[in-house]
Amino acid sequence: MENNTNIIELKGITKVYEDGYTAVDDFNLEVKRGEFVTLLGPSGCGKTTTLRMIAGFLMPSSGEILLNGKSIQDLPPYKRPVNTVFQRYALFPHMNIYNNIAFGLKQKKTPKDVIERKVRRVLDLVDLEGFEQRSVSTLSGGQQQRIAIARALVNEPEILLLDEPLGALDLKMRKEMQIELKNMHDKLGITFIYVTHDQEEALTMSDKIVVMNEGKIQQIGTPEDIYNEPKNAFVADFIGESNIFNGMMTGKLRARFCGGEFTCVDDYEEGTHITAVVRPEDVELTKPENGVIQGVVDSVIFKGIHYEITVLSGKNEIVCQSVHVAKPGDKVGIRVEPDNIHIMLAEDHTNLFFADINKDYRLEYNDHVLDTSVTKIIKGSSRREDGTVQDASGEAIDPVRMRIQVAIKPDDIEMTDDQNAGLINGTISNLIYKGDHYSYIIHTELEQDFVVNDEYLWNMGDRVGLMMPVDKMTFTLKKK
């Protein structure tokens, strides 16, 4: 059934709530008729908001949603050829299975014989034929979820939206339902748009995965593309397990990271700062003298089909998967085949924020006065006799119309558990291990995200203060 026709197009979709929070930012996606597309990302990344905008439960702040090439901005949910299955099944406890499934058709005044035919068809599809008169309260979680799916399918939607539909099931039932959902999709040939934070679920079922973070698309691709060719460190870390290292290109198809020089298949100019990604299953342990780098086994965990072995090499921590056991304290070498090293350009995580200029021509941010002044940070600026400040060209610097853009690098910010210390405080919303340090995203009270590098492990959700020394900042004068 799948073809090359777009059934849904989202063009520049942005959703900003009344409090100023941007849930979805410039989202662009094409969904082919018959595709199984998964929106994948951590909690709060905007995936459910996007789904609700497709369903019509939320209106985008800007952008356009097209169905079969035509805008559906003004169509209410009940007029869209879309049905939604939620994590909480929302079944009617006072109705039996038949009446739960038939509810939508009865609301549309569908003839009884048509309702009968359609309900029996979807009951067969979800493997619950013969259960029509059972009370929904007697069903297991997996059976209730099948009824919720049947209730959506009986309306014969062009698109089925599924918002974490397996989240309430136990692990075994979730895996069984993944296979059943994929089989249903293959049988029906309709378009599925699926929301989950479970990477395995996305990789198992999808034709196309849309990885999201902080309201933005990080990468769109097939499961194989997303896993084998991640576009950035977030995708590499979020999809499966990864070793992620900072490094530099040292020559043609040569990269230095983790204390050694490795041959790779990605070519960048010599001297380019890069991020190297190596999956644990691609790390080969050898005798120390045969490795590109050497290290000491720090821990060994038996995972059933393999051992997960952590090796320390200098400040770097390397995780590998092997069918051969090792012992903590063993000295080992490490090799990686060139085509198993994924090289990406290093991301510039310089933090940018704006500080206001007060009447004394000092800088203020988040009600804190920075220990500096405009004349110290703007080259060529000077005080006039009347106390105002002019730039190098002699033009007055107006605190009302101008402000200062501040830049500070992740290595130059210090986290503290004293929330009253520093310029601002916030919550750790994401972390990625980079071999010899952790890269954290701190979501602050001003809805500003800061990237901070720290060698110590903090926990997701920790509240921290951010200490930012003025001598590590750079400043640019900007007009408001």
Give the pLDDT confidence of 18-55 residue by residue, as tens digits: 888 899 999 999 999 999 999 999 888 999 999 999 99
Give whole-number Cα distances, 15 to 65, 75, 81, 360, 441, in Å.
Answer: 13, 18, 22, 38, 21
pTM assigned to the model: 0.74
Residues 6+ apart with CB under 8 A from 274: 246, 247, 248, 249, 255, 257, 268, 343, 344, 345, 346
Check if the beta carbon of residue 258 is closer than 8 Å to that of residue 246: no
What amino acid is encoded at 220 in this protein? I
446 phi and psi angles, rounded to 5 deg: -95, 15
- Burial call 228-239: b when 16+ CB within 10 Å, e when fewer: bbbbbbbbbbbb
Contact 122, 202 (CB under 8 A): no
pLDDT one-digit tens code per residue, 322-365: 999 999 999 999 999 999 999 999 887 789 888 999 988 889 99
Give the per-residue pLDDT at 167. 76
For residue 208, what are the β-bridge partners? 37
46: tokens are: 């905007």
Element (H, E) at 121: helix 112-125
Give the number of C-alpha atoms closer than 13 A to the C-alpha of residue 374, restricted to the C-beta side: 28
Distance, CA of 452 to CA of 380 (rounded, Å): 32
3-state secondary structure of 45: coil
The tens place of each residue's pLDDT in the chain, 480 residues long, gives 445 789 999 999 999 998 888 999 999 999 999 999 999 998 889 999 999 999 999 999 999 999 999 999 889 998 898 988 876 767 788 888 888 888 878 878 888 888 888 888 888 877 778 777 888 777 777 788 788 888 888 888 899 999 988 876 777 778 888 888 888 888 888 899 999 999 989 999 999 999 999 899 999 999 999 998 999 988 998 888 899 988 889 989 999 998 899 999 999 988 888 999 999 999 999 999 999 999 999 999 999 999 999 999 988 899 999 999 999 999 999 999 999 999 999 887 789 888 999 988 889 999 899 989 888 888 888 888 888 888 877 888 888 888 888 999 999 999 999 988 889 999 998 788 888 889 898 988 887 889 999 999 999 999 999 999 999 999 988 876
Q: What is the C-alpha separation between 349 and 408, in angstroms, rounded?
A: 9
For the CA atoms of 86, 88, 91, 92, the dihedral, rounded to the nearest 10 degrees, stands at -130
The reported pLDDT for the residue numbered 166 is 81
The pLDDT assigned to 68 comes to: 92
Q: How far apart are CA 475 and CA 407, in angstroms?
A: 6
* 13's tokens: 């979709």
Span between the terminal Cα atoms of the chain, in Å: 53
Q: Output the six-digit token pair for 236.
A: 């590499």
Q: Distances from the Cα of 214 to the Cαs of 45, 46, 409, 477, in angstroms? A: 5, 7, 20, 28
Contacts of 22 (CB under 8 A, 6+ apart): 14, 15, 16, 215, 447
DSSP β-ladder status, 216-221 and 243-251: unpaired
Q: How many residues does the chain have?
A: 480
Percent helix, strand and coil across the chain, each rounded to 5? 25, 40, 40
Strand partners, 383: 389
Lay out the sheet containing 62-67: strands in order across.
22-32, 6-16, 62-67, 70-71
Q: CA 86, CA 42: separation in Å to the nearest integer?
A: 17
Q: Return the beta strands (E) in 252-361 as ranges.
A: 254-257, 260-263, 273-278, 284-286, 293-302, 307-313, 316-322, 331-335, 342-345, 351-357
